[in-house]
C-alpha cells in the first residue's frame, strides 16, 4: 500500500515538474517507469548504493522503503568504523552491524564495509595505549582488529574500504595523523595485508575525497595505488567519495575517473552528494546560499546526470564497482551538521520524496553514451 502511494507520488512529482519545465529540461525528458515497485537499481547496469544508519532505517518505514527499493548495495555511514565498534575498549560491539547484515540478507543487497582504518576519531584509548606501549602494540592491535572484524563478516561483506583518507585535504602529501605518525606510510600496506589474510575473497579499496578538485592529490593517490599494485600488495579498488560542489566541472570529474580507471582496478564512486555552498575555508566570506529554488534543483539534476554518464563512459564495465550515495536524503545528510550549512545535497528531499536530482540520475543511467559531452 505504502509503495503504491510512494509511486503515485513519484509520478505526480514527475508530471508536475516536467509540465513546468517542458522542453528545456531534457533531464526529466524520459519515460520513467515508476508504475511498478522499481527503483534506481532496476534501471541500472551497475550497482547503486546507499549509505545508511541502520537504526534510523529500521525505525522509519518510508526510509526503509526507499532504501531497499532503490539500492542493491549498502554502506554503513558510521556503524562499521573503528570509533563505532571499539569506542571504549578492545572488545567490539557488533550489535548494529549485525542488524545491518540481517537487513542486507533480507533484501538481498550487497554489503560494503566502510572503513577499517581512518585517521578521524581514532578511539582515545588506542592513542593512549600506543603512547604507553609504542608502535609494536599499535601494530598488533591493528592486526587483531582488522582480523576480527573482517573474519566475522566475511560471508556478507564483499568489499572493504581498508584505508580511508590517508592523503592531506588538498595535496599529494600523506596526512600527518595518528596512523601515519605511528608507522609512516607503512600502515597502509599493513592494513591491506591484514585484511586480505582475513578474507582473501574480499575486494579491498583505498578511499579518499577531492580527486576532482585537487590534481596533485589525485596524482599522489594514483601513484601510491600503482606502487602498491607493483609490489603485490592486495589492493583491488579505488573509492572516489565525490562530495561534489556545484561548480565542480565536468572535465575535472572526467579526469578523476579516467585516472582512477587507468590503474586497472575497480572504481567506486563511494559517497556521492552535491552541495551548492562551498566547504572551502578559503571561501568563508562568500555569501551563503540559504534557500533552494526550482532552478537550482534542475541544475543539480543535470549534475547528477553528468556524474553517472561520466562514470559509465570513462570506467570500463569490468571496473565498475558502482555508485553509492551518502545518506541520500536532505533530511539525514551529514553535510548540514558537519559543515553547519543549510544544504540540499542529495536525490531525496526532507520528506524523503524524490527530487529532480533523482530523475536526473535515473536519466544518466539510461541515456545513450553517444550523448555524453566530456
CB of 164 to ligand XIL, least distance (A): 5
DSSP string covering 132-196: HH-HHHHHHHHHHHHHHHHHHTTTTEEEEEEEE--B-SSSSSBP-SHHHHHHTTHHHHHHHHHHH
DSSP string covering 248-296: --HHHHHHHHHHHHTT-SEEEEEEEEEESS---GGGTTSPPP----HHH
328 binds ligand XIL (CB under 6 A): no
3-state secondary structure of 67: helix
CB of 78 to ligand XIL, least distance (A): 5
CB neighbour class for 331 (10 Å; exposed up to 12, middle 13-18, buried from 19): middle
CB of 66 to ligand XIL, least distance (A): 18
Nearer to ligand XIL, 213 or 312 (CB): 213
Are 259 and 315 a contacting pair, CB within 8 Å? no
Instruction: Map the footprint of ligand XIL across residues 171-200, applying CB under 6 A.
Output: none
User: Is the peptide bond preceding residue 115 cis, with omega within 30 degrees of 0?
Assistant: yes
Instruction: Map the footprint of ligand XIL across residues 14-43, applying CB under 6 A.
Output: none
3-state secondary structure of 131: helix
- In the structure grid, which three cell numbers stand for residue 319, read together? 571496473
Interface pick for ligand XIL out of 104, 241, 306, 367 (rule CB under 6 A):
241
3-state secondary structure of 244: strand
Query: How many chain residues bind ligand XIL (CB under 6 A)?
Result: 7
Nearer to ligand XIL, 25 or 169 (CB): 169
b/e 332-367 (16+ beta carbons within 10 angstroms → b): bbbbbeeeebebbbbbbbeebbbbbbbbbbbbbbeb
Percent helix, strand, coil in the chain, to 5, is 50, 15, 35
Are 256 and 211 a contacting pair, CB within 8 Å? yes
Minimal CB distance residue for ligand XIL? 334
Nearer to ligand XIL, 83 or 137 (CB): 83
CB of 39 to ligand XIL, least distance (A): 22
Count the Cβ atoms, other than its own, within 10 Å of residue 67: 23
Nearer to ligand XIL, 2 or 120 (CB): 120
Interface pick for ligand XIL out of 164, 248, 320, 324 (rule CB under 6 A):
164
87 noted as active-site residue = no
Nearer to ligand XIL, 78 or 99 (CB): 78
CB of 359 to ligand XIL, least distance (A): 25
370 noted as active-site residue = no
103 binds ligand XIL (CB under 6 A): no
334 binds ligand XIL (CB under 6 A): yes
Nearer to ligand XIL, 83 or 94 (CB): 83
Instruction: Indicate the DSSP class of residue 355.
Output: P
Q: Which of 189, 212, 245, 271 is catalytic?
A: 271
Interface pick for ligand XIL out of 26, 29, 78, 319 (rule CB under 6 A):
78
CB of 237 to ligand XIL, least distance (A): 15
Catalytically active residues, by annotation = 165, 271
> Which residues bind to ligand XIL, rule: CB under 6 A?
77-78, 164, 241, 271, 334, 338
Amino acid at each position: 500500500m505504502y509503495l503504491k502511494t510512494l509511486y503515485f507520488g513519484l509520478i505526480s512529482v514527475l508530471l508536475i515538474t516536467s509540465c513546468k519545465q517542458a522542453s528545456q529540461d531534457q533531464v526529466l525528458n524520459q519515460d520513467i517507469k515508476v508504475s511498478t515497485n522499481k527503483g534506481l537499481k532496476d534501471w541500472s547496469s551497475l550497482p547503486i548504493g546507499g549509505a545508511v544508519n541502520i537504526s534510523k532505517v529500521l525505525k522509519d518505514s518510508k526510509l526503509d522503503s526507499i532504501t531497499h527499493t532503490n539500492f542493491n548495495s549498502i554502506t554503513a555511514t558510521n556503524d562499521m568504523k573503528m570509533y563505532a565498534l571499539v569506542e571504549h575498549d578492545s572488545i567490539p560491539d557488533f550489535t548494529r552491524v549485525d542488524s545491518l547484515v540481517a537487513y542486507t540478507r533480507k533484501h538481498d543487497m550487497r554489503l560494503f564495509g566502510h572503513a577499517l582504518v581512518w585517521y578521524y576519531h581514532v578511539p582515545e584509548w588506542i592513542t593512549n595505549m600506543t603512547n604507553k606501549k609504542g608502535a609494536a602494540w599499535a601494530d598488533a592491535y591493528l592486526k587483531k582488529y582488522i582480523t576480527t572484524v573482517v573474519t566475522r563478516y566475511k560471508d556478507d561483506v564483499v568489499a572493504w574500504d581498508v584505508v580511508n583518507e590517508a592523503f592531506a585535504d588538498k595535496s599529494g602529501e600523506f596526512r600527518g595523523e595518528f596512523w601515519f605518525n605511528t608507522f609512516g606510510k607503512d600502515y597502509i600496506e599493513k592494513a591491506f595485508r591484514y585484511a586480505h589474510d582475513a578474507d582473501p575473497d574480499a575486494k579491498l579499496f583505498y578511499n579518499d575525497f577531492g580527486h576532482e578538485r585537487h590534481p596533485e592529490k589525485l596524482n599522489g593517490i594514483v601513484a601510491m595505488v600503482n606502487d602498491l599494485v607493483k609490489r603485490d600488495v592486495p589492493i583491488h579498488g579505488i573509492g572516489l567519495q565525490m562530495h561534489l560542489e556545484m561548480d565542480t566541472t565536468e572535465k575535472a570529474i572526467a579526469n578523476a575517473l579516467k585516472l582512477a580507471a587507468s590503474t586497472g582496478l575497480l572504481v567506486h564512486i563511494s559517497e556521492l552528494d552535491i552541495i551548492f555552498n562551498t566547504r572551502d575555508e578559503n571561501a568563508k566570506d562568500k555569501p551563503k546560499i540559504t534557500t533552494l529554488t526550482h532552478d537550482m534543483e534542475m541544475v543539480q539534476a543535470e549534475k547528477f546526470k553528468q556524474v553517472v554518464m561520466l562514470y559509465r563512459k570513462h570506467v570500463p564495465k569490468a571496473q565498475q564497482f558502482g555508485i553509492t550515495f551518502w545518506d541520500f536524503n536532505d533530511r539525514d545528510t551529514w553535510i548540514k551538521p558537519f559543515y553547519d550549512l543549510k544544504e540540499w545535497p542529495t536525490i531525496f528531499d526532507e520528506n524523503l520524496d524524490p527530487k529532480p536530482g533523482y530523475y536526473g540520475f535515473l536519466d544518466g543511467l539510461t541515456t545513450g553514451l553517444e550523448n555524453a559531452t566530456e
